[in-house]
Amino acid sequence: MSKKRIFSGVQPSGDVHIGNYLGAIKNWVDLQDEFESIFCIVDLHAITVSQDPEELRRKTLEVAKVYLAAGIDPKKSTIYVQSQVSEHAELAWILNTITGMSELEKMTQFKDKSQKDGLESARVGLFDYPVLMAADILLYDTEVVPVGEDQMQHIELARTLARRFNKRFGDTFVVPKGHLKKETMRVMGLDDPAKKMSKSATSEMNYISLLDSPEIVEKKIKRAVTDSGSDITYSDDRPAIQNLINIYSSFSGKSPEEIVAEYEGKGFGEFKKGLTETVLEFIIPFQEKYSSLKDEEVIELLLENAKKVSSIAKNKMDEVKNKVGFLQ
């Protein structure tokens, strides 16, 4: 029996942080043996907010290298750049014609991002972002989409659009399912445990970038907000320490209970030292692998892979165009 397919992506904007890693990329690494895996660098999504062209090119390569250094094995999984496969934009256009304005107006991410700079300066592309994401997923008959919690609303739309298209034009798309890892589906900001860790955070103290130097990692953890009291306990009413324990737990493989037991009677200082060591145990070898990757080789791999997935995408588009009634 052939393997089920997973698809996911990260935008080449901002710094890839431990929230992206623990919420998404780490799960991809764990799932790549069990599934046929496609991981995209979604540059068409990145330009829904203004990007500097040179920086975008640099970040696109950076994210590809992050995937590889984090353990995505190019022999098992396909990594490629979204804009190199034109069918994404083509399918998004067709899905636009079966998507309601009101469905997009409800999207939390759009509301947040458009509020940030004022609704007047929000672009149509930002509004349409979830439809493009649905196109990414549906093009490849994706069954499972491993993401962080913030993307679940978009996946719900992809499910709705798949069903709606199938109903109207006949069975065409697989209805995909989201996949979350409960403990890390929402890694919170180090500077504010009420907000998620985010690439677009105003303060760099919000996140640990996978490419931060060990000294910076240490500094950021030292400065991370903690709750009142001095004990290391794990509960919802102590969100800052709970978040740090979740991070500790995901990097070390120890359960929150084990970590709490280990630090019984010890203070935040000691706990943060342990957390720093644990994060660095991942980050140092990760960065060594990252630096060893050669730009030209990665660029070539991406191009080859784009060709490979293009044939899947093109077949699906031929079917879609036929069903919609385009002359072929």
Residue of 196, 238, 272, 316 that binds ligand AMP (CB under 6 A):
196
Select from ligand TRP, ligand AMP, none the partner in contact with residue 7, using the beta carbon and a kind-dependent cut-off of 5 to 8 Å. ligand TRP
Q: Which is nearer to ligand AMP, 129 or 271 (CB)?
A: 129
Structure tokens at 16: 């890839």
Q: How far apart are CA 305 and CA 84, in angstroms?
A: 10
Catalytic residue check, 4? no
Minimum distance, C-beta of residue 82 to ligand TRP, in the bound complex (Å) = 7
Minimum distance, C-beta of residue 218 to ligand AMP, in the bound complex (Å) = 21
Looking at residue 209, the DSSP 8-state letter turns out to be B
Q: Which is nearer to ligand TRP, 199 or 289 (CB)?
A: 199
Binding mask 24-63 for ligand AMP (x = CB under 6 A): x---------------------------------------
**Interface ranges with ligand TRP (CB under 6 A):** 7-9, 11, 42, 45, 133, 136-137, 145, 147, 151
Contact 151, 107 (CB under 8 A): no
Contact 161, 130 (CB under 8 A): no
**Residue in 199, 219, 273, 289 annotated catalytic:** 199
Residues contacting ligand AMP: total by CB under 6 A: 17
Phi/psi at 49 (5° precision): -120, 155
Minimum distance, C-beta of residue 201 to ligand AMP, in the bound complex (Å) = 10
Helix segments in the chain, DSSP class H:
18-20, 26-31, 43-46, 53-70, 87-96, 101-105, 108-117, 124-139, 152-169, 214-223, 239-252, 256-262, 268-292, 295-324
Q: Of the ranges 79-87, 121-129, 146-154, 227-235, which one interacts with ligand AMP (CB under 6 A)? A: 146-154
Contact 184, 250 (CB under 8 A): yes
Looking at residue 24, the DSSP 8-state letter turns out to be I
CB-based contacts of 25, cutoff 8 Å, min separation 6: 10, 16, 66, 67, 70, 72
Nearest by Cα to 14 from 173, 203, 160: 203
Select from ligand AMP, ligand TRP, none the partner in contact with residue 145, using the beta carbon and a kind-dependent cut-off of 5 to 8 Å. ligand TRP
Q: Which is nearer to ligand TRP, 30 or 300 (CB)?
A: 30
Catalytic residue check, 196? yes
Residue of 132, 158, 187, 245 that binds ligand AMP (CB under 6 A):
187
Positions in 148-177 near ligand AMP (CB under 6 A): 148, 150-151
Place of tokens 């997923």: 137
Select from ligand AMP, ligand TRP, none the partner in contact with residue 277, using the beta carbon and a kind-dependent cut-off of 5 to 8 Å. none
Catalytic residue check, 199? yes
Residue 267 burial (CB count, 10 A)? 12
Contact 160, 103 (CB under 8 A): yes
Please tell me whether residue 199 binds ligand AMP under the rule CB under 6 A: yes
Q: Which residues pair with 178 in a beta bridge?
A: 145
Q: Which is nearer to ligand AMP, 6 or 306 (CB)?
A: 6
Contact 6, 28 (CB under 8 A): yes
Residue 163 burial (CB count, 10 A)? 12
Q: Of the ranges 67-75, 193-201, 263-271, 318-326, which one interacts with ligand AMP (CB under 6 A)? A: 193-201
Residue 316 burial (CB count, 10 A)? 19
Minimum distance, C-beta of residue 8 to ligand TRP, in the bound complex (Å) = 4
**Residue in 113, 177, 254, 321 annotated catalytic:** 113
**Residue in 26, 59, 65, 196 annotated catalytic:** 196
Binding site for ligand AMP (CB under 6 A): 10-11, 19-20, 23-24, 147-148, 150-151, 184-187, 196-197, 199
Residues identified as active-site: 113, 196, 199
